[in-house]
Structures are given as C-alpha cells and as structure tokens.
Amino acid sequence: MTFGVNCTAIAGNPIYLEWACFSAKTVKKFMPSVRFSVYTNMVKEARKCGHIDDVLEAPDYPAEDWHGVMIDGILASEKLGYDVTLFTGADTAICDDMTEIFDLMATGKFDLALTQPRDQRKRRYPLRGVHEGFPYYNDGTQFFPWNDATRKFYRDWRDFQWTHKVECANSRKLGTRIHPTQASFNEALYHNSDLRLVLLPKNYNEQLWTGCIYGKVKIVHVHGAGAKKAWRLGKRFNENWQKPRLFRNREIIR
C-alpha cells in the first residue's frame, strides 16, 4: 500500500512553499514511509525540498482564482497512484502517527474521512439547496482512496465552487469576493449522499482556539501563521497527552 499526503502551494510569495516543506518534514518524522506531494507553480523550488517526494506542476493562477486551486490540486493528485491520500493545508503540522486512519481507509469500507469545524458556521457561509439538518463538515483534513464515488464527489465540488465564483463575479455588491470552498464542499457532500463517511475527532484538524482536547493532537492547523507555529503548538499540547487539557486562545489553562 502507498499512502500519501497532498497539499497545495500556489502564490507569488514563496512562504507557502516554505510552509509545505516544513509540513512535509513533520510527516516524515512520524510516518517516514508516507509520501508527500505538493501542487504548485513553484516547481523548481519544490524539488529542492528534501522532504517532498512528488511535485504536481500547476499553472499560474490569477489571484482571484485561489479559492478553487486546492480542488484542482486534489484532482491532479490521482495520477500519483496513492492507495489512500490525506489532503491538508500547507499551513498544518503533523504531530503524531496517523497510519491508523490510512489503514482504515485502505480497507475499502469507506470513501472519505472528515472532521467538523468547532462551530457550525452556516450563517456566515450559507449553503444552497442543503437541508438545514445536514451537519457542516470541514474541508481542512480529508482522507480518501480514489474510487468512483470520490472522483464524482471532487468533480462535483469543483463544479459547485465554479458556480459560487460566477455568482460572486456577477454580484453588484461592493466588496464581494470569491465564496470560500467550505460552502461548496458541503453542498457537494449533501448531493453525494452515497459517500461512506467517517467522522474523525477534532484531534485530526485542531486549531486550538478554545475547548478541551483528549489524547494526542494529530494535525494542528493554524490559518495564515504557517506550519512552524502549528508544530510548536502541537508539541506543547502533546507533552501531557494522557490527561485532558482545557485551553483558551491556544493557551492551556488546566
């Protein structure tokens, strides 16, 4: 079995690739046999990173298209032939071994393993054509094998994201920007009801704002701050992982 982690680093600013390289380093620390790939337009620079195994060449995207880039990167990763892929952000750090989830997804019994956000932000990002009772899922951590169900889901997600882009482009409201991928992700999930989902605990996509954590933090995701900060936080929170830890604003209070 070949397991792999995939992320996207598209930008004129090389910091995104720097984050991806550090994220790859954290993968190799805990799972040295797991491959790491990046979808990027900074191909030469990516190949210089000793921790990145596979580089998927991306075009130069216009700045206004960046919300859909991650979906293109996931779709492009099929050619790598991983039996199970983990898609996550370049600004994440892997803080523990996660082969148990790779093994679970390799059984062929499930299509997609996800986490839920710390809050159900449907009001902020309204969903179109989705029942009010449908739970909200996070697109920041995705474990999946390639099969007919996941291919259809990711293509549908790209289509839903495109329609959001068109709506935003046609809007006359001042300050309108491209709709985030989170809403189109959940719309695609709702309309692919045959997907066999696994709901993972937040340990697999922890942002450490406020709450309680049990066991080890597996993936720490610090939006816009980079993988190194995520790694420092994860290391601190895993020092006493046998005990539940209460925290607020990324500080342990008990």
List the domains of the chain with CATH numbers. Answer: 3-201 (3.90.550.10)
Torsion 59-64-65-69 (CA) sign: positive
For 228, phi then psi, to 5°, come to: -65, -40
Check if the beta carbon of residue 246 is closer than 8 Å to that of residue 253: yes
Given the DSSP bridges, would you call strands 54-57 and 3-9 parallel, antiparallel or unpaired?
unpaired
pLDDT of residue 174 exceeding 50, the answer is no
CA dist 245 and 212 (Å) reads 5
pLDDT in tens, 32-74: 999 999 999 999 999 999 999 999 999 988 765 666 788 999 9
Q: How confident is the model at residue 226 (pLDDT cuts 50, 70, 90)?
A: confident
pLDDT in tens, 78-108: 999 999 999 998 899 999 999 999 999 999 9
Could you tell me which residues are beta bridge partners of residue 94?
219
Could you tell me which residues are beta bridge partners of residue 219?
94
The single residue listed with the structure tokens 């071994």 is 97
pTM across the whole model: 0.92
